[in-house]
Structures are given as C-alpha cells and as structure tokens.
C-alpha cells in the first residue's frame, strides 16, 4: 500500500524503524439503543473526518429531506479545528428528536444543549456532518481547579475491557490528536468561558432511568394484541449460515408473556422495506409493528464502532401506567451495521443476544444499572455489556429485565388480559412429511393470536391470525437431506417441530473394494478393478496411505501435486472463484479441492470437498458459492494427479466494486514474512493462516512497527484449519496495541503453514472501497523481480523495501521500460527498517532529472523493476499500485510480492475479457537479461482448442499483452481463459493484471497476481 500517513519525498527512500502494538479488544456490548464496539482514542481520532472544539449556538429538530427520519441539528461555532477544516460554523446532525407530536427515540445518540462547550469527532455523510461514534465521540469541555477536562457523554455505551476513561485532560487528548493527525489545532474563534465541572449533569445529559427508554410503550399490550415484527429482505442476514429467522424467534419469545407482565411479540416473517423508510416516523413502514434490517441500508449508522441501533417512534397518544405517562409506540426498529464492520454478527448466539437486547429498547426498556444497586446486574440481557458467560441466552431474561417489563406492562394496565395455553409444544414427523397432528390453543373468545416463523418446508393450514380457542395443523414437505428442526411461535408460545433425516442409500461399489464408484472415477481410479493401484490397498501416490485410508480421510489417492490458498470467503458480501488450468497436452487432471473453515466455538473444523476433471490444455472455473455447505471464511487445499495451476479471485458487494486475487502457493513453510500492512486511516489488515497438516501449528507473529520495539503474539492453528488474524484488533494485556500503525511481520510456526495478507481501505463511508491480497514472502533475498508497474495521471506506483536484518542494505532499482531503456536508482535501507519508493515522484524530481534525463520517463510509463542488493544483505520487496488519480481519489489497488528468479515457463489460470463487468486482462512480461526473448503464449480456454501466438521481448525491457486487442488473441473477447507463457531460451518474469467496471465506474475493481512458475 502507499504511504497514506506520510508525504513521500521523490528523491529519497522513506525509512521507518520496524516495531509494533495492537488495538483494543473487540468488545460487543448492546448499548442503549445503540450497540458499539470499544475503540481506543487513537482509533477514534484516526477514523474521524473532522475534529473540532466549539460552542453550541442553537439546536433544532427537523425531518430529513424526503423522509420521515427526525434529526437533531446543532449549530456549532468552531473554536479550534484539529483536522485542517476552515469553516468557522458547522452543523452537526444526529438521529432522534421530536417534531410536532411525533418522537424518534434513539438513546445512545449524542445530545446537544445551547451554550455548551464541546469537543466533537465527526464524519461526513451525504447529509452533512454527524458524530463519528454517537455520544462516545462528543465530549463536554469542563474547567476544574487544576485542568481543563473532556467529559464523555453518558450515552450508555460499553465500558468493556480497556475502554477509554470518561474524563481525560484536554491537553493530553490534543497531544494524541497531534500524534495521529500530524497537525496541531487552528484557532477559528474565541473560546469564551468554560463551563465548570460541577455543571456537567446539566450540560451533558445522561439516561434518566434504567427501566424506561423515553417513557414509551406498546399500548397494544393492554388489549392482548400481539405486536408483529418482521425481517427486512432488502439486505441479507449477516449470519455465516442461515437467514436469522431462528435468532429472531428466540429474541421475540423472550419478550412475550413473561411472568407478571402482559406484552406479546411475534415474528411475522419478512417484508421488503426501502432503505429511506427504515427510521421514518412520519409514515412508519410497519405501522403498529417492528422491523429488523441488516447491513445499514440507508447509511444511518456511523462508521466508527456502532454495531446496531434500536428504538422506536412514538406519538402524542398517552396512557398512565403505574403513575407514569407513556407515549404510544407506533413503530419499532433495529438496524445493524455491516458484517464487515462487525464480523461477530455471523455467529448465531451473538446475533440473537444483540437482537434481544435491541428489541428490549424498542419496547421501552433502558439499561440495567451499573452503579451497584442491582445484585448480579450483568446477569440481565439489558446490562450494557455483551457478551459474557453470565449473559442470558435467548429467550432467557434476567431478574432486572423482568422487573422493567412488569413496570411498563403490568397485568392490570387496563383493557383486559389474554392468556394462551398451547399443547403440545413439541412435534416430530418422518422424512416423508405430510400432515402433523393438530395443536390446541386455549384462550378467551375475544383474544387474538397469530402463527409466525414458518420455514419453507412447513406450511400452516388456514389463516395465520386467529381469534379465540382453536386448533392449528401443519404440513411438512418431504426431507431429502439431514434432520431438521423448526421453531415457530403459536399464540406467543414457542413450538418446536423436528423432522427425521432422509434414508441413507449405500453408494455403488462395483468391484467391492470399499471405494464407491463415483469417488474412484473422480480420483482417476478404475471402479472395476479391486487390486493393485486401483484397489482399496493400493497407494498410487506413494504417500503411505492406502486408497481406502485416503477415502476415509477425504483425501486424494493420486495426489501427486499439492497447492494451497489461505484466503477465501463466500457470503452475502464476498464471492470467491478459483480458476484451474491443466497445462499438460496429454494427461487429464483429476483435481480435489478441500475447503476448510476456521474452527468453530467448539474447535470443530468443517471441510467441504469438491472434485473436478480438467481435460488436457483446458481451463475450468470453480465458484465457491455453488459448493454445498461453503459459507463464511475458508482456505483451500488442492490436490491433483498431475500438474495444475490455480488462481483465486475474491470480489465483493455483489456489484463487484472491489476485488483481489492471488495464485496458489506451492508448499507450506515454517517461516513467512509480510513487508506491508497498515491499520490507520481506514485500513483493515488481515492475516490468513492455513495449516494443511495433521498436527496443530503453534504460530508466533512478531509484529514490527515504526517507533516501538517488536512485540510477539502467539496463536494456534488446528490441523486442517484456517485462522484469521484481524491485525487492527490485536492488543496486549499492558494496553499496547497496533492502532494507527504501518505494520510488517515475521511469522514462525512449529508446523508448516501457508500465510496470506488481505488489506482493505474504507473510504467516504463505503466499506472496503479498495482491497488487495498477497501471499507472504518466504525469505529475504538479494534480488527481486517485478514484472508489473505503471505510473502517470491514472496510476500511482510504489515499491516497498523492508530490511529485517541488522545491517543496512545498499539497493539498486533497475527500472525497465518498454523500449529497453534502463533507469537505475539507488537507495539505502537502514537496518530493521522499511521504506517506500514512489516511482511517479522520481519522474518529477528536478534534481534527479538534471543528473539523468531518463528519470523524467518514470512520470508516465509502463515499467518493470529489477531490485538488486549490492552489499549482500537480504531484503523483502513488494509492489503496490493505486488508482485513479492521486491519494485523494484512490478507490482501488493491487499488490504483489516480487520473485527471486526468472524462468522460461509460466502459467496463469485466471483471465477474462468482456462479460457483464467489461473485464480486461493484461499479461506483463519482464525480460531482465541482456538478450532478446522469444515467447510463445498459448491461450487455454474452457471449451475451445488451444491457440498460440509468438512475440519478442527485447533485452532489459517490459512487454505488455492486452488480451482481446488485435494481435493479442482477439478471440478471447467474451471468454474466460488461462495462459501458458514459454520462452525458448531466455528466462523471463510474468504477471497478470485484471480490471473490471462497477456502478458505471471504469476499472472500479482490479487484481494482480504473479504467474506460476512451471518446471
């Protein structure tokens, strides 16, 4: 990646000492009507678009233009700006407030009072400025005898683990801003008098009561009417597997007819509701009901740690209950942030707990007190911290939760009380399905009840809403797979229906050798031969395991070749495909892919198999989304009977606005290196570790970060599993963290593993605007070769040099241009340091150009790079390219490590021209020698015969094949393909770059990968 946190100097190497730190642990507490994850001061500062101290001049409420969403708007006169802004007056907008007799309740939102002196961290949205982390990012500025303090608003946010203090020195906080943002405050107006600390409670409001959220309630409870809740199908569930219906059912049943209280909620199924209506109180999208939405469809949630917001709209209709005047809730809501912001949302129990907590807010509950007045306060679902072992498991409630319900929804609130008795509450049926025995519902003749939560395989006879006593019968479809269970809500009671698995049919084994025919055919064995290499006792690949053992362990019996891909993810946001090429002209390839998940909470690793046969000189595409059971993160082990080449591509957002790619790794190792990495300014860095062996791998990562000594952290990767390390979220017990850092790393393992690094950049409120992925480097070396490179007004090109040794490295960069011109540039990389060479800037440096006019050509050119260390010191080299334009407009990137030697045979599995995303593929060939190279390039398609073209690559030059253009395989248009690149005598280096359009943006996404060297 390029050096976002510093300004590159064109004529000199940018050097940084290598050391480390980590972020605060990821806390996941449901909070007031907002669930947030803890972030350090450094993270909050780095994430904010603007940081100001100012005086609140006025406060108003208004509806957001074109919607019913109510916002509070604070006009602030800026005293000091810490982030380079120049406007002396700004408006900060926050969710919530009252317009007329309608109120939008979102506790956890920042509050503003006229005359208050505040410091605010804000982010820019399409509608203007808003607090970057709700009330956590707005502080009152208070004067004390000894100091000027910042006091954080008490919005109910979590204080889990190492969360920052509520009070801190203004001077100390300003120093932290200066260290992160590299600038001091600019005074824009006079400060005036600072409020005294004694006035805090008036100037910075707090939640008034733990039981009540805005004195609102569902009046429907008084007449026994069930409040329906729906799941919004506008966006998909964040669960790694499933649509979240079961989790919503759990949450609803928690708040339905609890002891001593009268309220009934029911999951009524799905609705599709437009994003602009989710928080609309003017015309609620679900009048008299509630809605749960995922993936923040209307960008209502800040990007600095808010995980979910829940709340309700209420009207001026009131009712007095237990001496308190309550407004009438007209619509309830829960909106979740993106799964990319909070991966834990993929876990069923975590999601269910957060839904239950947030729905609790939407029925009028505040928080369990944390001041010691409640015994075992953390044993309540409304406790402002999740998730501990003592946190209730939905549908359970804690004693304080129940007390709050009884206060808001007492049994004698008026209008009569309906009770319901449902029998039986458990039913079972065979795999054949059919009608189930009826359930009986006993209740009063005027009591209305409903049936909800029906899965696709269960249908109900009759209407889903009924009045009075009656029976309910269901019809189950035939089951052709594993046993399944459904949870339904009938009259507010949970009913469980279980269905047996389909009968197991023994596989056909013609030769009775214990190996099913289908498996033998997939693996390339003879299903009609029970002896020799084809029989159960055979061992054709010579690995010491018989064919029967390979079958039992789900391995390849003829797995003479292994390749590995540590990255892979398949869900509603990410899509992964793997391209495979068989470069042999005569031998079919029998290929097995084993896709392994991370270990679950019980340590279980799930591996899915997929077999494919590739004809000679052909290419195939494997879409992970078509493999049954593959969901979430995974790593892939590939085995084949003959040489195959594999490339993986990951795209995201459905539209494909981002992508990254990498070629498969040949072998696991015990030591790996990452030269690149960043956690500041919107960057997210992930290490993906695959252990393909049969023994657990104990892994030590030595994190290297500028300005601090190295720190280590230990991990364990179970056998056959993939482990993800989110570098941004790593921390140590002493509070040290990797916040806002440029990070390199050395990885050591007790068993051989594979390591990749994925990096993403969030920008302008968009998740993972840009991203790239690279396999780790195996070892330092004295020479590195990079075939790809482009500079100019569209691309920025960076060469990253890392020196992990104790001796400085004298580095010579040979830039190879298309016409054979070589521009040499020298750098010294100090010991234990890293530096970035911005190639575009070299081409604009007047001093360098005066010494060598050829430097000017580097400003706008295609270029390969030959990196040579002249004093025998091993270094690490990677290359990154960013586009479009300069750093203010970058929206995508790709990255690759260098190779240490040229070769005469290379292959690429991935390639495409045209298609729905107007994809372009470029093959980059570098000839670092003094002799011209004749290359034969063969296109290997999925269905058509191979096609070969011959080209000449001049000495010390770079050559570009724009596939699909005249002279460069024009028949490739509209096809996917692989490529075989062979030089007749002179060794070369080969890479591939691909670009695609999305959302009307040219080359919105792009990838790069080094070709696979062939024997």
Between 708 and 355, name the one with better pLDDT.
355
Q: How far apart are CA 686 and CA 753, in angstroms?
A: 16
Structure tokens at 734: 């002493």
Question: Does residue 191 lie in a domain region?
Answer: yes
- How confident is the model over 826-854, as pLDDT tens digits? 999 999 888 899 999 999 999 999 999 99
Greatest mean pLDDT range, 92-101, 157-166, 281-290, 310-319? 281-290
The predicted-structure confidence for 37-61, as pLDDT tens digits, reads as follows 556 777 788 888 899 998 888 888 8
pLDDT 10s digits, 720-759: 999 999 898 888 888 788 877 888 999 999 999 999 999 9
C-alpha span between 867 and 865 (Å, rounded): 6
Instruction: Report the pLDDT value the prediction gives residue 17, as an integer from 0 to 100.
Output: 27
Confidence of residue 278 (pLDDT cuts 50, 70, 90): confident
Residue 20, pLDDT > 70, answer no
Do the domain assignments include residue 753? Answer: yes
Please tell me whether residues 42 and 77 are part of one structural domain. yes
Same domain assignment for residues 595 and 714: no
Looking at residue 86, what is its pLDDT?
77
- Give the tens place of pLDDT for each residue, 447-496: 777 787 767 789 898 888 788 889 999 999 999 888 888 888 888 788 88
Of these ranges, 294-298, 300-304, 623-627, 902-906, the one predicted with the greatest mean pLDDT is 902-906
Peptide bond into 424 cis (omega under 30): yes
Are both 397 and 428 inside the same structural domain? no
Separation CA 479–CA 371 (nearest Å): 53
The first and second tokens of residue 973, run together, are: 């248009």
Q: Is residue 316 domain-shared with residue 343, that is, in the same domain?
A: yes
Which of 10-24, 277-291, 658-672, 869-883 has the least mean pLDDT? 10-24
Domain identity same for 477 and 590? no
pLDDT at 261: 86
Last residue of a domain, one of 499, 530, 549: 499
Give residue 155's pLDDT.
47
CATH number at residue 439: 2.60.40.10
**Does the pLDDT value for residue 625 go beyond 60?**
yes
- Structural domain containing residue 471: 421-499
At residue 206, the pLDDT reads: 28
Q: Which residues contact 669 (CB under 8 A, 6 or more apart)?
A: 752, 753, 754, 778
Residue 620 pLDDT greater than 50, yes or no: yes
What is the Cα–Cα distance from 760 to 782, expressed in whole angstroms?
A: 30
pLDDT for the residue 36: 46
910: in domain: no
| pLDDT of the residue at 33 | 36
* Sign of the dihedral through C-alpha 192, 198, 201, 204: positive
In a domain, 509, yes or no: no
Q: Pick from 178, 203, 228: which residue ends a domain?
A: 203
Residue 24 pLDDT: 20
Decide: 835 and 825 in contact? Cβ < 8 Å. no
pLDDT at 144 exceeding the cut of 70:
no
Measured in whole angstroms, the distance separating CA 346 from the mean position of its chain's CA atoms is 10
Residue with tokens 């241009």: 817
SS (H, E, C) 131-143: EEEEECCEEEEEE
Choose the final residue of a domain: 898, 925, 948: 898
| 647 and 718 co-located in one domain | no
Predicted pLDDT of residue 510 = 95
Taken in order 964, 970, 971, 974, is the CA torsion positive or negative? positive
Residue 643 and residue 687 in one domain: no
Please compute the mean of the pLDDT values over residues 931-944 and round it to a whole number. Answer: 97
Using the predicted structure, report yes or no on whether residue 684 has a pLDDT greater than 70.
Answer: yes
Residue 905 lies in a domain: no
The reported pLDDT for the residue numbered 202 is 37
- Whether 328 maps to a domain, the answer reads yes
Work out the pLDDT band at 418, boundaries 50, 70, 90.
low
Q: How far apart (Å, rounded) are the C-alpha atoms in residues 581 and 941? A: 9
The whole-model pTM stands at: 0.60
Query: Could you tell me what percent of the chain has a pLDDT over 90?
Result: 51
By CB neighbour count within 10 A (0-12 exposed, 13-18 middle, 19+ buried), where does 192 fall? exposed
Going from the C-alpha of 763 to that of each of 49, 679, 757, 766, the distances in angstroms are: 10, 13, 20, 5
Number of domains in the chain: 6
Q: What is the mean pLDDT of the chain?
A: 85
CA 425 centroid distance within chain: 39
The distance in angstroms from the start CA to the end CA of the chain is 32
CA distance 167 to 184: 21
Helix/strand/coil for 599: coil
What's 626's domain CATH number?
2.60.290.11
Cis check for the bond before 884: say yes or no (omega within 30 of 0): yes
pLDDT digits (tens, 9 = 90+) for 122-143: 988 877 898 888 877 888 887 7
Model confidence at 911: pLDDT above 50: yes
What is the pLDDT at residue 790? 98
List the alpha helices (DSSP H) in 142-293: 170-181, 200-203, 245-254
> Do 606 and 676 sit in the same domain of this protein?
no
Q: Please compute the mean of the pLDDT values over residues 507-511 and round it to a whole number.
A: 93
Please state the rounded mean pLDDT for residues 668-696.
Answer: 93
Q: Which comes out higher in pLDDT, residue 378 or 968?
A: 968
Distance separating alpha carbons of residues 171 and 532, to the nearest angstrom: 80
Grade residue 370 by pLDDT with cuts at 50, 70 and 90.
low
**Residue-level pLDDT at 279:** 84
User: 903 to each of 818, 923, 925, 938, how far by Cα in Å?
Assistant: 20, 16, 11, 17
Q: Are residues 291 and 228 in the same domain?
A: yes
Residue 401 shares a structural domain with residue 454: no
Q: What share of the chain is helix, strand, coil (3-state, %, to 5)?
A: 10, 45, 45
Residues 226 and 255 both lie in one domain: yes
> Which of 230-234, 486-490, 494-498, 793-797 has the least mean pLDDT?
486-490
Q: 539: which residues sit within 8 A by CB, 6+ positions away? A: 533, 545, 546, 547, 557
Phi-psi region of 340 (alpha: psi -120 to 50; beta: other; left: phi over 0): alpha
Percent of the chain exceeding pLDDT 70 equals 89
Query: Could you please report the per-residue DSSP string of 478-524?
Result: PP-SS-EEEEEEETTEEEEEEEPPPPPPPPP-TT-SSS-HHHHHHHT
Residue 665 predicted with pLDDT over 90: yes
Distance CA 294, CA 275 (A): 10
Residue 858 lies in a domain: yes
What's the average model confidence in pLDDT over 585-595?
A: 97
Q: Which single residue is written with the structure tokens 């100390």?
A: 172
Identify any residues that bridge with 991 across adjacent strands, giving them in sequence order: 924, 1010
For residue 1013, the model assigns a pLDDT of 98
Q: Is residue 28 domain-resident? A: no
Say which DSSP state 789 is in. Answer: -
Which two tokens mark 479?
A: 């089951």
Confidence of residue 611 (pLDDT cuts 50, 70, 90): very high
Q: Which of 36, 42, 33, 122 is nearest to 74 (CA)?
A: 122
- Say yes or no: 612 and 549 in one domain: yes
Number of other CB atoms surrounding residue 870 within 10 Å? 11
**Domain containing 285 — which CATH number?**
3.40.390.10
Per DSSP, 24 falls in state P
What pairs with residue 418 in β-bridges?
none
In 10 A of CB 89, how many CB atoms? Answer: 12
Q: Is the pLDDT of residue 416 over 60?
A: no
CATH of the domain at 56: 2.40.50.120
């Amino acid at each position: 990646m390029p050096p976002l946190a510093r300004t590159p100097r064109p004529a000199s190497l940018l050097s940084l000492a290598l050391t480390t730190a980590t972020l605060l642990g990821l806390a996941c507490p449901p909070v007031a009507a907002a669930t947030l994850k803890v972030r350090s001061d450094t993270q909050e500062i780095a994430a904010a678009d603007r940081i100001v101290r100012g005086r609140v001049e006025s406060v108003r409420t208004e509806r957001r233009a074109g919607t019913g969403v109510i916002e509070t708007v604070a006009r602030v006169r800026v005293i000091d700006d810490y982030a380079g802004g120049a406007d002396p007056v700004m408006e900060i907008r926050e969710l919530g407030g009252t317009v007329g007799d309608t109120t939008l309740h979102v506790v956890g939102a920042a509050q503003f009072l006229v005359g208050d002196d505040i410091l605010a961290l804000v982010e820019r949205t399409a509608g203007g400025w808003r607090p970057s982390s709700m009330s956590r990012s707005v502080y009152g500025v208070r004067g004390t005898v000894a100091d000027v303090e910042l006091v954080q608003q008490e919005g109910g946010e979590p204080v889990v683990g190492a969360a920052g203090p509520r009070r801190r020195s203004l001077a100390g906080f300003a120093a932290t801003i200066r260290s992160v943002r590299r600038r001091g405050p600019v005074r824009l107006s006079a400060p005036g008098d600072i409020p005294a600390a004694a006035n805090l409670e008036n100037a910075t409001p707090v939640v008034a009561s733990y039981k009540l959220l805005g004195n609102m309630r569902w009046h429907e409870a008084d007449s026994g009417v069930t409040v329906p809740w729906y799941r919004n199908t506008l966006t998909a569930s964040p669960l790694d597997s499933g649509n979240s219906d079961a989790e919503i059912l759990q949450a609803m049943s928690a708040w339905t007819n609890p002891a001593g209280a009268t309220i009934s909620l029911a999951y009524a199924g799905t609705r599709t509701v437009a994003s602009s209506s989710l928080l609309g109180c003017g015309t609620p999208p679900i009048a008299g009901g509630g809605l749960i939405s995922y993936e923040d469809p209307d960008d209502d949630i800040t990007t600095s740690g808010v995980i979910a917001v829940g709340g309700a709209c209420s009207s001026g209709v009131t009712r007095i209950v237990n001496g308190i005047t309550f407004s009438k809730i007209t619509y309830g809501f829960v909106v979740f942030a993106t799964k990319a912001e909070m991966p834990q949302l993929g876990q069923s129990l975590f999601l269910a707990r957060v839904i239950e907590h947030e729905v609790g807010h939407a029925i009028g509950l505040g928080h369990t007190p944390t001041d010691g007045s409640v015994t075992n306060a953390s044993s309540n679902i409304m406790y402002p911290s999740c998730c501990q072992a003592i946190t209730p498991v939905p549908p359970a409630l804690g004693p304080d939760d129940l007390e709050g319900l009884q206060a808001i929804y007492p049994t004698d609130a008026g209008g009569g009380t309906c009770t319901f008795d449902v029998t039986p509450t458990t039913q079972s049926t065979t795999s054949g399905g059919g009608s189930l025995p009826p359930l009986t519902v006993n209740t009063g003749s005027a009591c209305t009840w409903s049936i909800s939560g029906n899965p696709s395989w269960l249908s109900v006879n009759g209407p889903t809403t009924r009045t009075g006593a009656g029976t309910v019968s269901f019809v189950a479809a035939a089951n052709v797979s594993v046993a399944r269970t459904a949870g339904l809500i009938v009259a507010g009671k949970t009913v469980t229906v279980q269905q047996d698995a389909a009968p197991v049919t023994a596989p056909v084994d013609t030769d009775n050798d214990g190996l099913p025919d289908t498996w033998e055919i997939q693996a390339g064995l003879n299903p009609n031969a029970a002896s020799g290499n084809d029989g159960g006792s055979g061992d054709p690949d010579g690995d010491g395991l018989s064919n029967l053992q390979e079958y039992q362990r789900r391995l390849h019996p003829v797995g003479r070749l292994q390749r590995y891909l540590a990255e892979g993810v398949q869900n509603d946001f990410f899509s992964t495909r793997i391209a495979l090429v068989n470069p042999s002209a005569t031998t079919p390839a029998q290929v097995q892919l084993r896709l392994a998940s991370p270990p679950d909470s019980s340590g279980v690793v799930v591996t899915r198999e997929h077999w494919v046969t590739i004809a000679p000189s052909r290419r195939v595409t494997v879409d992970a989304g078509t493999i049954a059971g593959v969901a979430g993160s995974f790593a892939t082990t590939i085995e084949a009977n003959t040489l195959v080449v594999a490339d993986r591509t990951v795209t995201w957002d459905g539209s494909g606005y981002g992508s990254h790619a990498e070629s498969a790794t040949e072998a696991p190792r015990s030591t790996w290196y990452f030269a690149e990495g960043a956690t500041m300014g919107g960057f997210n860095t992930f290490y993906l570790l695959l252990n393909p062996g049969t023994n657990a791998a104990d892994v030590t990562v030595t994190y290297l970060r500028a300005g601090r000594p190295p720190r280590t952290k230990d991990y364990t990767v179970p056998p056959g599993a993939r482990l993800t390390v989110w570098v941004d979220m790593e921390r140590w017990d002493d509070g040290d963290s990797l916040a806002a850092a440029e990070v390199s790393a050395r990885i050591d393992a007790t068993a051989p593993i594979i390591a990749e690094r994925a990096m993403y950049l969030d920008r302008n409120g968009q998740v993972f605007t840009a991203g790239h992925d690279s396999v780790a480097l195996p070892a330092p070396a004295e020479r590195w070769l990079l075939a790809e490179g482009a500079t100019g007004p569209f691309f920025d090109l960076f060469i990253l040099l890392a020196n992990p040794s104790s001796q400085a490295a004298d580095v010579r960069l040979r830039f190879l241009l298309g016409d054979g011109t070589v521009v040499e540039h020298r750098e010294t990389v100090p010991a234990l340091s890293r530096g970035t060479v911005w190639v575009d800037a070299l081409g604009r440096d007047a001093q360098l150009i005066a010494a060598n006019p050829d430097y000017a050509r580097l400003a706008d050119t295609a270029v390969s790079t030959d990196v040579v260390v002249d004093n025998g010191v091993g270094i690490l080299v990677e290359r990154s390219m960013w586009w479009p334009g300069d750093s203010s407009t970058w929206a995508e990137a790709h990255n690759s490590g260098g190779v240490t030697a040229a070769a005469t045979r290379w292959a690429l599995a991935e390639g495409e021209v045209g298609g729905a995303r107007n994809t372009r593929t470029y093959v980059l060939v570098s000839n670092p020698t003094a002799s011209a190279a004749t290359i034969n390039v063969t296109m290997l398609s999925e269905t058509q015969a191979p096609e070969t073209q011959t080209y000449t690559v001049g000495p010390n030059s770079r050559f570009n094949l724009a596939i699909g253009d005249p002279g460069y395989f024009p028949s490739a248009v509209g096809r996917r393909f692989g490529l075989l690149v062979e030089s007749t005598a002179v060794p070369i280096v080969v890479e591939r770059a691909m670009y695609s359009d999305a959302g009307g943006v040219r080359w919105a996404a792009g990838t790069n990968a080094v070709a696979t060297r062939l024997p």
